[in-house]
Copies of this chain bind each other. A is one copy, B any other.
Amino acid sequence: MRDRLASWRPRIDEAIESLLPREIDEEYLQRFFGDPSYAYDPDALQIALADPMWDLLDRGGKRWRAVLFLVLVDGLGADPDEFVEYACIPEILHNGTIVVDDVEDGAEMRRGDTALHLDRGTDIALNAGNAMYFLPLKVITQNPAGLDAATRLETYEMLMHELNRTHLGQGMDIAWHNEPEIHVGEDEYLEMTACKTGCLVRIVTRLAAIVTGQPDDVQETLGAYAEDLSIAFQISDDVLDIENTLDQAGEFGKAFGNDIREGKKTLMVIHAAEHADPESVARLEEILWAEETTDDEVVEAIDILQSTDSVEYARDRAAEFAASATAHLDDLDLDPEAADALEAFATYVVDRDR
């Protein structure tokens, strides 16, 4: 299975290149975007679209959304080769949101290099990032798998639903980030994560269900798997940030105490705010809200999280969500090899150490 997963990676990149070549020319522009009314400027579009997009894509990223999609298509009894272009939809969308998020957060680094908007300018980066929201959806019009009209309509409606909810999740996260108090509860946190992180993964699994013609209940179950998996992933990511900070292992592309410095309202922070004494909560809020944070203050904030066993609590919750994700798979009639891969994936997101 692992060999087969690895073997898809070049096919995925080839498909991305068919949607967005590294070298833009007239022929591509005409084929992909239609005849110009006057004349395209391929050189300008090389700078505005192809260069920034491939800069980001070439920085790595495991293309796991595309691979997950193909594993699912396979597991549902269809031929992944027929659907490689569709695998690019969530992959390119995801990379687009990364560019936009970095502008929103004022991030300085991305995948071990300067964030795109600092490297190429906010104008170029943001337009390219937003173009990545629409460019991959052309696959549905191009219709390489010969889907009928009802299936294509269902694909659009699913995408619009999930992309709307993505912006709800991001909106909640930003609004919380912009206020000093920690007043949000666990349910709101889980909703935010389900929307912000989960909807893009729901696109992966629901798209696989739709294009292979699964009944609604299979699509729903796969959506639930994706949501639980994403929540497990996000909580684990936040826990890892704290654990790496404790190990002073700041070299994983993240600065020391990144989330504390950013003032992120993680599940650990929310749990601590609910269980610590008022004085500690006030101090935690103060450190998270501060413009500048010393290393000692980062450690102090983590001490507060640990005084309420909030790191352990979050680690347990992540494991529960991973288990819940896996449990959904039992309701499906998946090819056993694919089911194993999906289960391994759920285990991986909570067991990884970076």
Contact = CB atoms under 8 A, between A and B. Distances in A.
B138 A45 contact: no
A140 B133 CA distance: 18
Interface in A8-54: 29, 33-34, 36-41, 43-45, 47-49
A39 B172 contact: no
Contacts of A121: 174, 178
- Majority secondary structure, A binding face: helix
A130 B127 contact: no
Interface stretch (A189-197, A236-244, A335-343): A189-197
Contacts of A187: 38-39
A133 B131 contact: no
B191 A37 contact: yes
Interface stretch (A66-74, A147-155, A250-258, A306-314): A147-155
Interface centre among A121, A124, A134, A141 (most CB of B within 10 A): A134
A345 interface: no
B188 A127 contact: no
B34 A175 contact: no
A184 interface: yes
Contact count band on A: 35 or more
B137 A160 contact: yes
A123 B174 contact: yes
Contacts of A38: 186-188, 190-191, 194
A131 B164 contact: yes
Interface of A: 29, 33-34, 36-41, 43-45, 47-49, 100, 103-106, 121-124, 126-128, 130-131, 133-135, 137-138, 140-141, 149-150, 152-153, 156-157, 160-161, 163-165, 167-168, 170-172, 174-178, 184-188, 190-192, 194, 227
6 contacts: A39-B191, A40-B172, A45-B172, A48-B175, A121-B178, A133-B133
